């Protein structure tokens, strides 16, 4: 394959790859476990805050703190967890993370049954769950290239994005239904059982992992490996610019998500039902994006696809202020179209990003590389809303979406500056990390 000029895989080879992937029983088991885990995480997005509100009567401040606690481990612990991920078998780490999350969440209804449940317990559970979310995500990212051939990575990542997209849509609806039907305490018990099912699915992944090198030394060795992870990530041109691109892209998305509801209520005069319907209709496009992600990445090339998705993302954000120019019906249509465009691009870009990272990084270094990049990529989810709210207070709500569009375009510029756009279907030898 020629990275500079490759035009994608011929149809017969594409069909053969898909047939091999479908017959890869280990991947199907891994994918099943990850799908159930993703669904459980999205159900928890509704159930955990509902427990705080309906059981403890918490206000927006308490709920906001509860949600923030789940993100803190991604920003603070990911680099260290990444080092540990490269020191242990990833399948065992994923199973451990699932069982730990089951125990953590199941402890809540058990405590409620004995009238021992407290808000402190809920906060601690949210924080610990976030820790094991990091362990599972980094282990999964590192385990996938071990389980699949290089030519199957795009297909494997596409299936991962499809399951996560479906979980995003179904999980929150299922979570709301469980809370309504069972109450928040029983709903939390069902949520915890999902992680146990995910762990059981992973038992059927049979391909043996090569035993990692035994860890030597203590904290000093971990710090040395962490420093090495920073050098690997930012010393490699592709990984450096992909991290910058993802940071700005995520910042734009998080800013828009934080401000769209405020804009819809305050500037467009939407009712709660209109807001929910507009965002729900728009988010459905994420499934279309997930289903077409492999095809688009193969036809355009992974690097050019990242430019395409971020330009479309910028267009989606720039479109939002246009809603002010018409009546309610016009504004509703604009918001739906904008959300469709942004939802459509997310899984397509994620497939390209993860495939390039996995083809650049040796499997034994995936944990460290992911751990170093994660605080930047996920940390931007906290920075984006702060910037957006500051602009809204200083100027107007719609100005925040202009900034989001600019950030999305800056993300595309990093793809150009770092020559990531040249990557078509594989990463050239000279751009790969060699340990």
pLDDT band at 10 (very low <50, low <70, confident <90, very high): very low
So what's the pLDDT on residue 335? 93
Cβ burial 261-273 (10 Å sphere, 16+ → b, else e): eebbeebbebeee
Rg (CA), the chain: 22
Q: What was the pLDDT predicted at 60?
A: 57
pLDDT of residue 34: 84
Helix (H) or strand (E) holding 71: helix 60-76
pLDDT above 50 (res 234): yes
Assign 319 a pLDDT band (cuts: 50, 70, 90).
very high
pLDDT for 26 beyond 50: yes
380-390, pLDDT tens digit by residue? Answer: 776 787 788 78
More confident residue, 16 or 371: 371
**pLDDT score recorded for residue 242:** 93
Supply the pLDDT for residue 217.
58
The yes-or-no verdict on residue 325 having pLDDT over 80 is: yes
pLDDT in tens, 128-170: 998 998 899 888 888 888 888 888 888 888 888 888 888 877 7
pLDDT tier, 27 (very low <50, low <70, confident <90, very high otherwise): confident
Asked which of 16-20, 308-312, 377-381 is least confident by mean pLDDT, the reply is 16-20
Check residue 2 and give its pLDDT.
Answer: 39
Query: From CA 164, how far away is CA 38, in angstroms rounded?
Result: 6
As a whole number, the mean pLDDT across the chain is 83
The pair phi, psi for residue 346, each rounded to 5°, is: -60, -55
- On the CB side of 76, how many CA atoms lie within 13 Å of its CA? 11
CA-CA distance, 202 to 26, in Å (whole number)? 9
- pLDDT over threshold 70, residue 260: yes
Q: How confident is the model at residue 23 (pLDDT cuts 50, 70, 90)?
A: low
CA dihedral 54, 55, 59, 60 (to 10 degrees): -70
Per-residue pLDDT, 172 = 64
Q: Which of 148-162, 331-345, 368-382 reaches the highest mean pLDDT?
A: 331-345
pTM over 0.85: no
Residue 8 has pLDDT above 50, yes or no: no
pLDDT bin (cut points 50, 70, 90) of residue 16 is very low
Q: What is the DSSP string of 188-208?
A: HHHHHHHHHHHHHHHTT--PP
* Separation between Cα atoms, residue 105 and residue 186, nearest integer Å: 11
Q: What is the mean pLDDT of residues 407-414?
A: 96
Of 53-62, 64-73, 218-227, 278-287, minimum mean pLDDT range: 218-227
Cα 333 to the chain's mean position, in Å? 27
């Amino acid at each position: 394959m020629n990275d500079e000029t490759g035009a994608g895989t011929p149809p017969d080879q594409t069909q053969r790859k898909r047939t091999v992937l479908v017959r890869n029983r280990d991947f199907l088991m891994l994918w099943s476990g990850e799908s159930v885990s993703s669904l459980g995480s999205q159900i928890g997005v509704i159930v955990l805050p509902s427990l705080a509100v309906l059981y403890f009567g918490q206000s927006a401040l308490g709920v906001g703190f509860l949600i923030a606690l789940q993100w803190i481990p991604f920003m603070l612990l990911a680099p260290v967890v990444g080092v540990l991920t490269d020191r242990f078998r990833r399948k065992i780490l994923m199973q451990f993370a699932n069982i730990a999350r089951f125990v953590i969440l199941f402890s809540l209804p058990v405590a409620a049954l004995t009238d021992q449940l407290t808000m402190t317990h809920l906060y601690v559970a949210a924080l610990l769950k976030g820790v094991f979310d990091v362990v599972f995500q980094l282990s999964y990212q590192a385990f996938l290239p071990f389980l699949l051939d290089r030519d199957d990575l795009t297909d494997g990542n596409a299936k991962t994005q499809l399951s996560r997209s479906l979980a995003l849509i179904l999980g929150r609806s299922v979570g709301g239904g469980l809370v309504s039907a069972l109450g928040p305490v029983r709903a939390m018990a069902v949520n915890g059982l999902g992680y146990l099912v995910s762990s059981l699915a992973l038992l059927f992944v049979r391909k043996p992992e090569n035993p990692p090198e035994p860890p030597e030394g203590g904290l000093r060795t971990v710090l040395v490996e962490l420093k090495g992870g920073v050098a690997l990530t930012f010393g490699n041109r592709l990984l450096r610019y992909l991290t910058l691109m993802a940071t700005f892209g995520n910042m734009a998305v998080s800013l828009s998500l934080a401000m769209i509801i405020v804009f819809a209520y305050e500037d467009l005069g939407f009712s709660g039902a209109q807001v929910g319907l507009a965002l729900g209709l728009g988010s459905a496009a994420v499934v279309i994006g997930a289903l077409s992600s492999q095809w688009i990445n193969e036809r355009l090339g992974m690097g050019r696809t990242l430019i395409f998705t971020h330009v479309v993302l910028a267009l989606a954000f720039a479109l939002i202020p246009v809603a002010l120019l018409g009546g309610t019906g016009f504004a509703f249509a604009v918001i739906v179209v904008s959300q469709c465009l942004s939802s459509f691009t997310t899984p397509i870009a994620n497939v390209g990003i993860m495939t390039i990272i996995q083809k650049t990084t040796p499997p034994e270094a995936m944990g460290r590389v992911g751990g170093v990049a994660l605080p930047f990529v996920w940390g931007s989810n906290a920075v984006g809303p702060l910037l957006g709210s500051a602009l809204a207070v200083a100027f107007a709500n719609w100005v925040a979406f202009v900034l989001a569009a600019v950030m999305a375009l800056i993300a595309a510029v990093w793809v150009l500056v770092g020559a990531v756009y040249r990557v078509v279907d594989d990463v050239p030898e000279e751009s790969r990390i060699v340990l």
